[in-house]
Amino acid sequence: MEKEVLTLLSRLVEIRTVNSPRDGSVVGPAEAKEIQAALHDHGFTQTSIIDEGGSPIIIGVRGRGRPVGLYMAHVDTVPPGSGWSGDPFKLRVSGERAIGRGVADDKGNVAAISLGLRGYEPPNGTIIVAFTSDEETGGFSGALWLLGWLEERGLLPDYLVNGDGAFSRVIIRRRNVMLTRLRVPASSSKARGCVVEREFTASINKPTRHAAYFTPGVDTHPLLQASDWIRNSDLLAISLWVENVKNNVIPPRARLRALVPCGAEDCREEECREHDYDPNLTRLLAAILPLSRSPFNVEGYSDFGVTSTPNTYYPTSGVHEVEIDTRVMSNDAGHIRERMDTALRENGLEGYELDVASGGGYLNTPRSHWLAQLAARVNRELGLSDQLVEAAGASDSRHYSVRGIPAIDYGPLGWNVHGPDEAVSIPHLLKAVEFYRRLALAIHEDPQRVTRG
């Protein structure tokens, strides 16, 4: 089985399914057909591609009647970014790790679900397998659209197993992500001083640069460091450069050129003269740090609390644009905007545009639910942890959880999700294949457990 899993995963990694619309990268029908062919060659047949929602979905339906189980994963990935030790689109094996973009998020799960459930005909009920292609941009044209498509056909799931995790543990809770964009017009003025420049680098105390796992007080963020420098050194911003990856990825580096006032420690008298600077960029940078610490009301408990990280910066067409990744147990986008508005106004920012939209909700399945308990038992039988945990990143399961559909997330142990040299544990990947199969067997051999609870 190991050779087959790695052969399939290798093919999936080579299919470039980067999802970054700003860069013109989206997953289209051609890539979906390539993935479908790879799955077909490994025995996962009887699938079709639907793309009426705007993003292609590879789907297979087996059985009939209730209960209806949906096993879902996504084929799209974030851009590779920098720092790789090899080609991110060529699978490499190093010891017990397989390395390549998407191996943990989320093509390892695509391989595990397809191999685990291939050929299985449920004796009771229906099993639907769906591989979507827009999870990295919110899942609105994929998982959410699929929910309506299934409901129209009388196939609204009784439960969801979402293959989107990297711990080999059963995930029952994830925060909502607020899709936030801040735009401020560029401006120009002059002042006397000396030009200084400083580069800031990210320091992340965990094997991922995914913004959801950023921990204030433990990790450092380049743009937050730049904001602190502006705020505490009486600087005037001239220009800003950020090594953008994606709005939910901590940028590796940021570089700020600024004007320090005459007479300051970093400004020698003979170098002090008049320079251009940008007042709006100055106020924007000054506001970023307090904005990231805005206090929000929450609707439920989260181990990770609230995080807001400004992860991309684009100076285009006379506008400074920042994308902010906000994670919170709330669906109230209006409240989030109100608190952010306060931070921006308090720091003198005017004429800005702030867009805040809810990412669709949050996953929150009770620990006592039969699906969570059964999944924990299956994991324990495989020699893995039966602990039910919260994960920091959002996932497509939130679109179903808010509809009252019981859901869990799962995935093999992995490292460097959204970062360089992303990797997955090969032994855990093999156990994930067995996890999905055993869980489906346990439910559809005894369908009454769905109604017994």
Can you spell out the DSSP letters for 348-367?
T--S-EEEEEE-S--EE--T
Residues 31 and 328: their CA atoms lie apart, in Å, by 33
> Could you count the other beta carbons within 10 Å of the beta carbon of residue 94?
12
- From first to last of its 453 residues, the chain has per-residue pLDDT tens of 899 999 999 999 999 999 988 888 999 999 999 999 999 999 999 899 999 999 999 999 999 999 999 999 999 999 998 899 999 999 999 999 999 999 999 999 999 999 999 999 999 999 999 999 999 998 999 999 999 999 999 999 999 999 999 899 999 999 999 989 999 999 999 999 999 999 999 999 987 888 999 999 999 999 999 999 999 988 999 999 999 988 889 999 999 999 998 888 888 877 899 999 999 999 999 999 999 999 999 999 999 999 999 999 999 889 999 999 999 999 999 999 999 999 999 999 999 999 999 988 999 999 999 999 999 999 999 999 999 999 988 999 999 999 999 999 999 999 999 889 999 999 999 999 999 999 999 999 887 777 655
- What CATH architecture applies to the domain 2-175+362-452? 3-Layer(aba) Sandwich (3.40)
Of the candidates 305, 289, 286, the residue with the CA atom closest to the CA atom of residue 173: 305
428: its two tokens: 């855990």
Residues 405 and 397: their CA atoms lie apart, in Å, by 9
147-165 burial, b for 16+ CB within 10 Å, e for fewer?
bebbeeeebebbbbbbbbb
Of the candidates 105, 140, 106, 120, the residue with the CA atom closest to the CA atom of residue 43: 120
DSSP 304-335: T--EEEEEEEEEETTEEEEEEEEEES---HHH
Residues 406 and 366: their CA atoms lie apart, in Å, by 9
Count Cα atoms within 13 angstroms, Cβ side, for 202: 27
**With contact defined as beta carbons under 8 Å apart, do 449 and 439 qualify?**
no
**With contact defined as beta carbons under 8 Å apart, do 415 and 207 qualify?**
yes
Residues 408 and 405: their CA atoms lie apart, in Å, by 10
Place of tokens 């502006």: 230
Residues 6+ apart with CB under 8 A from 375: 161, 170, 408, 410, 435, 439
Residue 447, pLDDT score: 77
Domain definitions of the chain by residue range: 2-175+362-452, 177-358
Residue 271, pLDDT score: 81
Residue 74, pLDDT score: 98
Residue 179, pLDDT score: 86
